[in-house]
Every structure is written in C-alpha cells, then in structure tokens.
Structure 1
Amino acid sequence: MTAHDHHFDAASPAPLNISKVAVGCADIDALSKRQQLRALNGEVPLITRFMPKRASELIGGSIYWIVKHQLVARQRILGFAEREEDARTIVRLEPQLVLVRACPKRAHQGWRYLAAADAPADLGSDTDAAEMLPAELMRRLIALALI
C-alpha cells in the first residue's frame, strides 16, 4: 500500500456499492474458499486495473458478488490502495462474506455501481424460519433464488 490509500470515514454519507461477477465460482462455497485463500492481514485484496472514479463513496459500502446470474453475497469495502509494482488498484475487502437474499443480476464485465436502494437485504437481517434451516438446504434455496 502507498500514501494514496483511501480509508473509511464514519462521518461520510451512506456509501455506494458495486457488483461484480465471481468469475470461475460455481457457488457460494467456491467463492468463500477463494476469499479465504486470498485473505492477508485480516483483509482480502481484490486487484483491478483502475481506481473507481467514485472510490471515496464506495468505502464502507460493499461489493455484491454475482454467482450464476444472482447477487448472492457481499463483502464490505474497507478502502483502496495502489499496488506499487504495476500501479493497479487494490480493493481492500473484509474477509467475511455476508449472504444476501438472492436476486437476479445479469453478468457484466468488471464491476458496476449499485445504489443502496437496489442492493438486496442480508439473509438473517430479519428473524424468520429460514435462519433455522440446515446450511446445505439454505445454500440450495439461495442458489434457486427461493430465499
């Protein structure tokens, strides 16, 4: 990381989100395993070519992952940094994947901005019977966009 790091400021207005296809991940488990392998010092670095123009609005927001044309999980964006060897951007993510209520989302290249109003709710953000389901059944229902 360099002096060009951007960090979360709690006084900022509601953060913006982005969506991105989890390329090569057949399901949430594959995405989770990938992120665990990439975790370093309590963060998961995501390398991208360019710093988003609205980077300061994204800090504190989340990246919503698309698997099989569904938004299925999110990770909080902690900040941005520049990789010294090639000037690519490092998106610094929390290691925890938060499952969200699956909703349809077309695949796209790179990432796209996602307004808070368009972002799906976290699973378990309201108390319901789905929270009591076995994990495997929950994953299957999410994959089918039934919850």
Structure 2
Amino acid sequence: MMLLYGRWNGDDSVDKFTHLIKLSVGTETVDDLLRWQKLRRVQTSDGLPRHVTRMWPKREAEILEGGSIYWVIKGLIQCRQRILRLDEVNGGDGIRRCAIVLEPEIHRTQSVQKRPFQGWRYLAPADAPPDLPASRQNDEALPVELNQALAEIGVL
C-alpha cells in the first residue's frame, strides 16, 4: 500500500493529515522566529501566533487533522508549530487572505536542507523531519554553517 499522505498506524488505518512548509524570511535562528511571533501575538485578540498568506489551502481538512507548519530558516527545516485553525482575514485592500493560526510552542526538529521556494507547500508526514528529543529542545543552536554542513552529510 502506498501512502500519498498520512501516517501508517500499524493496523489497517491511516491518519489522513498533511503539513505545510514555509520559509521564515528574515529570521536567522529559531529564537528570532520566537521573538518575532511574541511581538506580533500582542496584536491578536486571542494571543496566538499566525502567519497570513494570500492563498487558502485547498487541503484544509487534512491540515486541521493534525498538521504543523515546518519552518525553513537559513536553508534548513529547523522547527515546526502545530496548526490550530485557518481564519479568514480581509485586509484594507478587500482581498481575502488566510491566517494560519498556530500553537505558540515551537518544536525543534532535526535539521534538513531545503532549497528556496515561494509561498508555502504541502509536506507529507513521511517527509517531515522528526522532532528533536525533549532533552534537546532547549539546546543552544549550532552555528548556521555547522548546522548546514551536518545536514548535508545526514548527521542531524
């Protein structure tokens, strides 16, 4: 059986969900992303971080079944956040946009190289890097060059 998306449960069922992947433009580290989101959260009515995008995901139901947004920072997937919901946002220009509302907690992942791309993309669970163990979630980040070199050879 070939899985196009989802996670094999070991029995005859499959969790049908998908993730998003997005470049975190302008951030140098996961801590930069945390700081930026913290500043923006005070501007929201519910205090939750969000990323606003012009395109609405067609696979909304699959995303909301357990998907996360995986952040690419400096050419590496480095962390993820659980997606809580998708809210409609209308700007002053009258254009309908999608606010991807996120769980505040950021989970660091194993670093995986990712070439630049525009917008967001779907990411199958089978292709998503695993979270770092809980004991390493608060480790000091490696220098960017070392992190990239280790990801290139598949050590991280």
Which of these residues, 13, 16, 22, is aligned with residue 14 of structure 1?
A: 16
Matches within 5 A, 1:47-66: 47-59=52-64, 60-66=66-72
Summarize deviations over 1:21-76 as a string: whole Å, max 9, x none: 00000111111111112224242121110211111111120000001111000000
Which stretch has the larger CA shift, 39-48 or 72-81?
39-48
Structure of greater Rg: 2
Matches within 5 A, 1:25-40: 25-39=27-41, 40=44
For 1:26, what is the secondary structure of its paired residue?
coil
Q: Is the 8 A contact 1:42 1:94 kept in 2?
A: no
Percent of aligned pairs with the same amino acid: 38
- Alignment of 1:90 onto 2:99: yes
Query: Over the residues paired in the alignment, what is the CA RMSD in angstroms?
Result: 2.3
Which stretch has the larger CA shift, 87-96 or 77-86?
77-86
Aligned to 1:135: 139
TM-score, normalising length: structure 1: 0.78
Question: Cα–Cα, structure 1 residues 133 and 112, in superposed 2: closer, same or farther, change >3 Å?
Answer: closer
For 2:112, what is the secondary structure of its paired residue?
strand
Aligned to 2:74: 68
Which ranges in structure 1 are unaligned for 5 or more consecutive residues? 1-11, 126-130
Aligned to 2:85: 79
TM-score, normalising length: structure 2: 0.74
Number of residues of Structure 1 aligned to a counterpart in Structure 2: 129
Which ranges in structure 2 are unaligned for 5 or more consecutive residues? 1-13, 151-155
Matches within 5 A, 1:79-118: 79-85=85-91, 86=94, 87-118=96-127
